Chains A and B, each alone.
Chain A
Amino acid sequence: MSSTRNFDMRRYLHRRSHNWTVLALATSATALALLVLAAILFKLVWSGLSAWGPAFFTMNMPPPDRDGGLANAILGSVLMTVAGTAIGTPVGILAGTYLAEYGRGSRFAQFVQFINDILLSAPSIIIGLFIFQVMVVPMGHSSGWAGSVALSILMIPIVVRTTVDMLALVPNGLREAAAALGTPKWKVVTSVCYRAAIQGMLTGIMLAVARISGETAPLLFTALGNDSWTWNMNAPMGNLPLAINKFVNETSEIWNRLAWGGALLVTVAVLALNIAARSIVNIGSVKR
């Protein structure tokens, strides 16, 4: 009898230690992930902050070993992100509206959502190649517009997805109440459903903007990059990711410093947008 008890005890201890080991590993995996996040941010601040000065934001990209800044690249990034957002948002919202309001449950809508989810994770460099073929080759030159369209194509699937998800959360009672008052369907959608889902849709748009404002690969072949200040979106256009890419691996110390400064700026902007997007939803749920 006592031997069975000993045996059980051993087994119990074994199971318990096994459990502790695995849970300790899980905890260290989480710690490692947080450590990586901290290490990246630390490295960016350490190497990038010293580049931030008046010149960084006001001067253009310099030739090697001259003083300069990233003003033209910042302008280009802002212009292309705004244009990309302006193209991508309406397309994404309207397509999402059809899928959620008109096609809900239909085979066609399910198929489109399936394709949309694949586009959501499609390699961004492929989007760059596609726009190169569609816009750069026929136009004969790279341009800020081509870059903007490439960014908008990255954005559309994200906006479609969040629009569909958020419209699906709007209770049917709201639609029925509006319809019972004789409201035409388009009015129900735009004044009732959109209004109910606006916070979630805004979050989706901001996450999409965050995503596209740090993208490098789709701009390589489309916007090409440009070292001088220009508002002309019909010509090659400078932007932050490509400026970083150009400067980071060179021997010029000033270029290196600018690259890290740019990297810090891009990351701060992207993470701030990310956090802001999430907090919209938070505030909303608290109010409700």
Chain B
Amino acid sequence: MTDFDQANRLTAEGGHKRAGAFLEFVELFVTARGRRRLPDAAFQLVTLFFTIVVLAILGGIIFYLAEGSVLAFRTYGLGFLYTSVWNPGAEPMKFGSLAPVYGTVMTSIIAMVIGVPLSFGVAIFITELCPTWAKRSLSTAIELLAGIPSIIYGMWGLFTVVPILQEHVQPFLIATLGHAPLIGSLFAGPPLGVGVLTAGVILAVMVLPFISSIMRDVFETVPPMLKESAYGLGCTTWEVMWNIVLPYTKVGVVGGIMLGLGRAMGETMAVTYVIGNSSRIAPSLLAPGKSIASTLANEFNNTSEPLYLSSLIALGLILFLLTFIVLAAAKVMLIRLQRQAGG
């Protein structure tokens, strides 16, 4: 036993762990045994360093966005959060985040309303109906939808989906739902094609592969015994899905939906192309609007005015915090399901 070992043991016994660690560190360079362990310690230290880099990225994002938005919040105070005027042309410039935040939230809600049932349908088809030989290629095809870049969805949305919505779907919505009580005002106005609803539709397609693949994964955690018992009692496929699989996996399913929601809120190019870019909050879903991400994409490069830039960065900070909360909640739920499945 070397002196260093002894010293280590003594300090550890005395509870001075820090001194122990320090001695261990010195030992690496001094004793022969330590020198043999040097590459090991170095490798561990290097990997630890890059792990901390990952944390530093998150810290850096929050710090730099906060630093950049100081000017905006100093000028407008908390009013920035609840005023809806976004007017860089005014003298002096006036900025409030309500219109972009409304657009981000509204397009994401529409995306979830359309996208979640679709994703659920796809997940049911793949887990319960699809013949085994087609399962793999079908899953790959659905996942390719997730691989298509955002800007391509934007172009396809603008040149294919917008004309269809404008000529067929929106006139129909205006003629029917537009006259309904309560929700009528949501479907009022001229059929422009572009607008909040269109952005929501495109987002629904974009989040479908994410949500459906998580649903599929969590459906597979259901013990076959439970499903077989239900089938044995004479349940139909749908009854098994709705009464057995869904209750068993609900935490995971909600987690998957939240993950999709987080994606939808931050989606930039696709939304920018089809949302119509208007700074007014309109009651109708058919009207053009703007989201936080589309505002950044459209306006950030057009200015060098410090207050304008700072207001845009403040919008970015709001978006990041919103997605952070949603994604963190999603992650917590998925971890809970994992624990449940494991234990």
* Minimum C-beta distance from B5 to chain A (A): 19
Given contacts A123-B265, A267-B148, contact A22 B125 (CB under 8 A): no
Within 8 A of A (CB), among B194-231: 205, 208-209, 212
| Given A125-B296, A133-B313, A274-B143; A19-B320 close (CB under 8 Å) | no
Q: Is A153 an interface residue (CB 8 A)?
A: yes
B61 at the interface (CB under 8 A from A): yes
Q: Which residues of B contact A (CB under 8 A)?
A: 36-37, 39-40, 42-44, 46-51, 53-55, 57-58, 60-61, 64-65, 67-68, 117-122, 124-126, 128-129, 138, 140-145, 147-153, 155-156, 158-160, 205, 208-209, 212, 236-239, 241, 259, 262-263, 265-269, 293, 296-297, 300-301, 313, 316, 319-320, 323-324, 327-328, 331
CB of A55 within 8 Å of the partner chain = no
Chain A: CB-nearest residue to B326 = A121
Q: Is the Cβ of A44 less than 8 Å from the Cβ of B152?
A: yes
Give A136 Cβ to nearest chain B Cβ, in Å: 11
B-contacting 9-mer, from A67-75, A191-199, A210-218, A226-234: A210-218
**A7-35 to B contact mask, C-beta < 8 Å, 1/0:** 00000000110110011011111101110
* Of B42, B54, B117, the contact of A116 (CB 8 Å cutoff): B54
Query: How far, in whole Å, are A262 and B306 apart by their CA atoms in the complex?
Result: 34
Tell me which residues across on chain A come within 8 A of B323, comparing CB atoms: 121-123, 126
Q: A115 with B144: in contact, given A123-B267, A123-B293, A130-B61 (CB under 8 Å)?
A: no
How many A residues, CB 8 Å from partner?
Answer: 84
| Interchain CB contact under 8 A, A39 and B236 | no
Contacts of A132 in B (CB 8 A): 300
Contact B149 A91 (CB under 8 A): no
A-side contacts of B64, CB under 8 Å: 129-130, 133-134
Rounded to whole angstroms, the CA-CA distance of A134 and B54 in the bound complex is 16
| Best-buried of B37, B48, B120 by chain A (most CB within 10 Å) | B48
CB-based contact B293/A125 at 8 Å: yes
Whether B313 pairs with A118 at a CB distance below 8 angstroms is no
Q: How far apart are the CA atoms of A186 and B212 in the complex, in Å?
A: 39
Known contacts being A30-B125, A129-B313, is A18 close to B68, with CB within 8 Å?
no
| Interface status of A266 (Cβ within 8 A of chain B) | yes
By a CB distance below 8 angstroms, the chain A residues around B148 are 37, 40, 214, 267, 270-271
Q: Which of A57-65, A78-86, A96-104, A170-178 contacts the other chain?
A: A96-104
CA distance A115 to B201 in the complex (A): 30
Closest approach, in angstroms, between the C-beta of B199 and any C-beta of chain A? 15
The yes or no answer to A143 lying at the interface (CB within 8 A) is no
Instruction: Say whether A144 faces chain B, with CB atoms less than 8 Å apart.
Output: no
**A101 closest partner in B (C-beta):** B47
Contacts A25-B121, A43-B160 given; does A33 touch B300 at CB 8 Å: no
A49 interfacial contact with B, CB 8 Å: no
Is A122 a contact partner of B320 (Cβ separation < 8 A)? yes
Give the contacting residue for B152; candidates A40, A98, A125, A210; CB below 8 A. Answer: A40
Contacts of B57 in A (CB 8 A): 119, 153, 156
10 contacts between A and B (CB under 8 A): A19-B238, A26-B125, A34-B141, A91-B53, A95-B50, A95-B54, A121-B266, A122-B320, A122-B323, A245-B269
Q: Is the CB of A263 within 8 A of B152?
A: yes
Q: Are A99 and B126 in contact (CB under 8 A)?
A: no
Instruction: Establish whether residues A185 and B43, one from each chain, have CB atoms under 8 Å apart when the complex forms.
Output: yes
Report B-chain residues with C-beta under 8 Å of the C-beta of A266: 149, 151-152
If A119-B54, A134-B64 touch, whether A95 touches B47 (CB-CB below 8 Å) is yes
Hey, which chain A residues are within 8 Å of B60, CB to CB?
A: 130, 134
A275 contacts B by Cβ under 8 Å: yes
Query: Min CB distance, A237 to chain B, in Å?
Result: 15
Interface assignment of A224: CB less than 8 Å from any CB of chain B: yes
Q: Identify which of B46, B121, B208, B239 contacts A94 (C-beta below 8 A).
A: B46
Known interface pairs A119-B57, A248-B155. Does A94 touch B50 (Cβ–Cβ under 8 Å)?
yes
Separation of A144 and B318 alpha carbons in the complex (Å): 28
Minimal beta-carbon separation of A88 from chain B (angstroms): 11
A117 close to chain B: CB less than 8 A = yes
A241 within 8 A of B: yes
